[in-house]
């Protein structure tokens, strides 16, 4: 048994695995349940879900039955529900589906102005006080929006898109801002939902993968976790893919190969 590298969630002295397992657009609920259980066994005990992901919270609830204290669950409130009362009602619905009495991290899924941000943050503060959420955060927030949220509440996480198409912006603009505010970033869509790039980009990924006996998804995940500063959320319903993805962190690529990937995806 080996341990996944971990990352501190903000300055909470709570450490999370470098990966989280996503649950968006589940095709086969039974397979997803099996994969979540296998993930916990493999040391990937952070599961990401949302009220928006139809049926997903129920799947997570079934998968973690009897093992609640082994997992860290992140879920999200939709912006249209994020009034003070609406947020509390949404969380109660999520708790029922997840069959738990608290979530570890509760995020505003994105900000669309339907409700004042201060109201959502006030509801998050209330839910923390009630012990129904351990931590609060946001998703798809710009640095300016993060700063606005921080005026109301000590949020600990911003979940944003992170893959080879936007890694420079995330690492050079979003990450320094987040770190200066003591916020952890988590990154979704690392594998473009399985829609791999074409042409020269794919050739470079295959070439690098071949040099180390890795697969293309492993090269991508290795690249995105190379600095150990962003939690990378991938989704899979396959235990085989899960193991393949987790073992991506065991490789160290030569600096020239990291540069080659960076150059190829920056043009
Ligand atoms: N906050 C937000 O707004 C937001 C937005 C999007 C996503 N998210 C979260 O982030 C998670 C991840 O993003 P995502 O699900 O959109 O996309 P993703 O993780 O980039 O891609 C998932 C797809 O990749 C395939 N895959 C995974 N590992 C593979 C491997 N080793 N080989 C071949 N195919 C592989 C999966 O198929 P198999 O099942 O066949 O492996 C699945 O179809 C979501 O599930 C969700 O929890 C959050």
Chain segment 144-202, per-residue pLDDT in tens: 999 999 999 999 999 999 999 999 999 999 999 999 999 999 999 999 999 999 999 99
At 205, give phi and psi (nearest 5°). -60, -40
Q: For 73, left (φ over 0), alpha (ψ -120 to 50), or beta?
A: beta
Question: Is 189's C-beta closer than 6 angstroms to any atom of ligand 1?
Answer: yes
31: tokens are: 């397979």
Residue nearest to atom 14 of ligand 1 (CA): 189
| Average pLDDT in the chain | 96
CA separation for the pair 167, 227 (Å, rounded): 12
pLDDT tens, residue by residue, 73-112: 999 999 999 999 999 999 999 999 999 999 999 999 999 9
Phi, psi dihedral angles at 164 (to 5 degrees): -70, -15
Residue among 63, 123, 132 nearest 103 (CA): 132
CA dihedral for 107, 112, 117, 120, sign (positive or negative): negative
pLDDT average, residue stretch 14-18: 93
Q: 100 pairs with which residues across the strands?
A: none
For tokens 């090269």, name the residue: 219
Q: What is the DSSP letter of 172?
A: I
Q: Is 258 considered catalytic here?
A: no
Sign of CA dihedral 55, 61, 64, 65: negative
CB half-sphere exposure, 245, CA atoms < 13 A:
28
Q: Name the residue at shortest CA distance from atom 30 of ligand 1.
A: 241
Residue 229 has pLDDT above 80, yes or no: yes
Q: How confident is the model at residue 24 (pLDDT cuts 50, 70, 90)?
A: very high
Stated as kind and residue range, the H or E segment containing 8 is strand 6-8
Q: Are 170 and 185 in contact (CB under 8 A)?
A: yes
Domains and CATH numbers, the chain: 6-195+224-251 (3.20.20.100)
3-state class (DSSP) for residue 191: coil
* Contact between residue 108 and residue 77 where contact means Cβ atoms under 8 Å apart: yes
Write down the pLDDT at residue 8.
Answer: 86
pLDDT band at 267 (very low <50, low <70, confident <90, very high): confident
Selected catalytic residue, list 15, 53, 102, 126:
53
Give yes or no for residue 158 CB within 6 A of ligand 1.
no
- Work out the percent of the chain whose per-residue pLDDT is above 70: 99
Q: What is the model's pLDDT at position 169?
A: 97
What confidence score (pLDDT) does residue 1 get? 52
| 53 CA from centroid of ligand 1 (Å) | 13
In this structure, are residues 222 and 190 in contact, taking their beta carbons and an 8 Å threshold? no
What pLDDT, on the 0 to 100 scale, is given for residue 14? 87
Q: CB of 237 closer than 6 A to ligand 1?
A: yes
Enter the pTM of the model: 0.97
| C-beta 74 within 6 A of ligand 1 | no
pLDDT at 10: 74
Predicted confidence at residue 2, as pLDDT, reads: 62
**pLDDT value at 237 more than 80:** yes
């Amino acid at each position: 048994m080996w341990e996944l590298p971990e990352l501190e969630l903000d300055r909470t002295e709570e450490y999370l695995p470098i990966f989280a397992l996503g649950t968006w657009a589940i095709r086969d609920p039974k397979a997803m349940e099996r994969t979540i259980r296998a993930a916990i066994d493999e040391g990937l005990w952070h599961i990401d879900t949302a009220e928006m992901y139809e049926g997903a919270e129920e799947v997570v609830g079934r998968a973690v039955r009897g093992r609640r204290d082994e997992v860290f669950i992140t879920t999200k409130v939709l912006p249209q529900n994020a009034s003070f009362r609406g947020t509390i009602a949404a969380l109660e619905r999520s708790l029922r589906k997840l069959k738990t009495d608290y979530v570890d991290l509760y995020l505003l899924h994105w900000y669309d102005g339907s409700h004042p941000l201060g109201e959502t943050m006030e509801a998050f503060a209330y839910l923390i006080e009630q012990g129904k959420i351990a931590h609060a955060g946001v998703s798809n927030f710009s640095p300016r929006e993060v700063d606005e949220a921080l005026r109301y509440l000590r949020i600990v996480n911003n979940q944003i898109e992170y893959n080879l198409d936007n890694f420079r912006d995330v690492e050079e603009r979003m990450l320094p801002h987040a770190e200066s505010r003591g916020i952890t970033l988590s990154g979704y869509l690392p594998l473009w939902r399985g829609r791999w790039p074409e042409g020269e980009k794919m050739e470079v990924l295959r070439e690098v993968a071949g040099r180390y006996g890795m697969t293309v998804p492993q090269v991508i995940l290795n690249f995105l976790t190379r600095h150990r500063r962003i939690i990378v959320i991938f989704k899979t319903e396959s235990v085989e893919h899960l193991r393949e993805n987790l073992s991506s962190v065991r490789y160290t690529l030569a600096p020239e190969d990291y540069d080659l990937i960076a150059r190829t995806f920056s043009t």
